Structure 1
Amino acid sequence: MGRILLAEEGNSTASVLLEELHRAGHDIEHVESGAVALQCILTSPPSLTLLDMELPHVNGLQILEKIRARSDHPIIMLAARTDEADRLRGFEFGADDYVCKPFSPREVVVRIDAVLRRSAQLRRIAPPQVPISFEVKRGFAVLEGHGLPLTRTELLLLRALSQEPGRVLTRSKLLEVAFPEALDVNERAVDTHIKNLRKKLATLSTTHSWIRSVYGVGFAWESRARHQA
């Protein structure tokens, strides 16, 4: 199993979680300072980090941003259930998953295993083999050698998603991309355009869903290479 870094202040929740992680076969290191957590990840990266949003000295989002500038190290954020804005920012910054407090230690173990499996798969996969290009003025994308007529909004959404395969983009981020000049567009407009975009992508493949939904957060682009791994 993997070596897990738990970066969380306080021992009340940590002790129960540590026990469950040990039972699952993981080696655990527990730190309570953001500065110490950042140093640990940079100098001796664990298999995965459980990163509390509210760490002293350097908070979880600051650590996440610094790490993502250097690596794809697997990170699961620990966030209070009421901190929706921070959770969404966590995904924008590149978090692999998040767990709401109070949480079930068993759920955390299951999420760790899922993220570690996904991370291992991605390390075995070469860069996406699906070429995609865009003809913005002519209003279409070229995917797997096939032209795909798109509206301007669909094209902007597809370009944003496909530039970062596997990464979850929040609805608010996609709203900024697709409607840069609009002030009163609801985030649900993104869902409508994604639905239409999926229908067009389905004409290229009925067996592969190019766009993955992440409930309550947003969407991610899944190339065929990743999907088939």
Structure 2
Amino acid sequence: MRTILIVDDDLELCALLADYLRREDFEVQLAHDAETALARFARDQHPPDLLILDVMMPGKDGLTALRELRQRHQLPVIILSARGDPADRVVGLELGADDYLSKPFLPRELLARVRALLRRGSAGSDEPLSVGLLRLQPTERRAWVGETELKLTGAEYSLLLALARQAGNVVNKASLTEEGLGRPIERFDRSVDVHVSRLRRKLSTASALAPGIESVRGSGYLLTRPSA
């Protein structure tokens, strides 16, 4: 049974979501402030399989908590926010959220996102994959550039794997959204763009000789193959 931690100061919403997700065979844990959630991560040896994190809470806000969490944990994170501003979505994704959902939302929409993030990356071969200095191990969901292991979120890993499997070819944003986030692309959706921007930084930081990710205007992205 997969475990989900919901962090939100709205007690009524937490109770509703917990009841709904438990009926879908998830174990659900609750925290009503960021400090309690972070303390749980520091204390527990086995973190939850997925985190649902509200942005606006008393005390430490969700984005600050996410920044701290990403220093040690790479579990899937869905950000919830009553603020639907696209800029807020970008900030959440830049800080390492895998997906973002604006309030109000239907519980079944959240359930679909949860299931998508938990099952992503299951398609395709499990054979190790190399593109120049970049190596990926799908069975372990780990990636290296040379001897340096990349610290990737689940969404970043899935996107990198999708690009690596089609190295040298353009992969459109709709396909990348399906591969990386496990859901259809939405209108004005910049989630893939933000994740790719983070991937570029991590690849270039690992090595100047790492494969690059090129943007193809109006089409998508491609992972460059090293020159012969």
Q: Aligned equivalents of 2:33 and 2:152: distance in 1?
A: 31
- How far does residue 15 in structure 1 lie from its aligned partner after superposition? 2.1
- How far does residue 70 in structure 1 lie from its aligned partner after superposition? 1.5
TM-aligned CA distance change 1:86 to 1:125, over 3 Å: farther
The alignment covers a number of residue pairs equal to 159
Greater per-residue helix proportion: 1
* 2:211 paired with 1:209: no
- How far does residue 85 in structure 1 lie from its aligned partner after superposition? 2.1
CA contact (8 A) 2:74 2:152 kept: no
The gaps in structure 1 that reach 5 residues or longer are: 134-161, 169-197, 225-229
TM-aligned CA distance change 1:125 to 1:26, over 3 Å: farther
Query: What is the root-mean-square deviation of aligned Cα atoms in Å?
Result: 3.5
Q: Aligned equivalents of 1:119 and 1:56: distance in 2?
A: 35
Picking from 139, 150, 167, the partner of 2:156 is 167
- How far does residue 83 in structure 1 lie from its aligned partner after superposition? 3.6
Residue 130 of structure 1 corresponds to: 131
Q: Aligned equivalents of 2:40 and 2:127: distance in 1?
A: 27
Picking from 79, 90, 102, the partner of 2:92 is 90
Secondary structure at the counterpart of residue 77 of structure 1: strand
Secondary structure at the counterpart of residue 171 of structure 2: coil
TM-aligned CA distance change 1:203 to 1:6, over 3 Å: closer
Residue 53 of structure 1 corresponds to: 55
Aligned pairs (5 A) from 1:1-229: 1-44=1-44, 45-118=47-120, 129-131=130-132, 166-167=155-156, 204-205=168-169, 209=171, 212=176, 215=186, 216-217=189-190, 218-219=192-193, 220=196
CA contact (8 A) 1:6 1:51 kept: yes
Q: Aligned equivalents of 1:91 and 1:84: distance in 2?
A: 11
- How far does residue 30 in structure 1 lie from its aligned partner after superposition? 1.1
Q: Aligned equivalents of 1:33 and 1:105: distance in 2?
A: 21
Secondary structure at the counterpart of residue 156 of structure 2: coil
- How far does residue 119 in structure 1 lie from its aligned partner after superposition? 6.8
Aligned AA (2:20): E
CA contact (8 A) 1:130 1:223 kept: no
Aligned AA (2:6): L
CA contact (8 A) 2:167 2:222 kept: no
Please report the TM-score for the alignment, with normalisation by the length of structure 1. Answer: 0.58
Secondary structure at the counterpart of residue 129 of structure 1: strand
Aligned AA (1:106): R
Q: Aligned equivalents of 2:76 and 2:87: distance in 1?
A: 21
Secondary structure at the counterpart of residue 167 of structure 1: helix
Q: Aligned equivalents of 2:70 and 2:121: distance in 1?
A: 14
TM-aligned CA distance change 1:89 to 1:76, over 3 Å: same
Aligned AA (2:12): S
- How far does residue 116 in structure 1 lie from its aligned partner after superposition? 1.1
Please report the TM-score for the alignment, with normalisation by the length of structure 2. Answer: 0.58
What is the percent sequence identity of the aligned residues?
A: 30
Q: Aligned equivalents of 2:151 and 2:171: distance in 1?
A: 17
- How far does residue 86 in structure 1 lie from its aligned partner after superposition? 2.0
Q: Aligned equivalents of 2:167 and 2:2: distance in 1?
A: 41
TM-aligned CA distance change 1:131 to 1:43, over 3 Å: farther
Aligned AA (1:16): L
The gaps in structure 2 that reach 5 residues or longer are: 135-149, 158-162, 178-184, 197-212, 214-220, 224-228
Secondary structure at the counterpart of residue 109 of structure 1: helix
- How far does residue 36 in structure 1 lie from its aligned partner after superposition? 0.3
Aligned AA (1:209): V
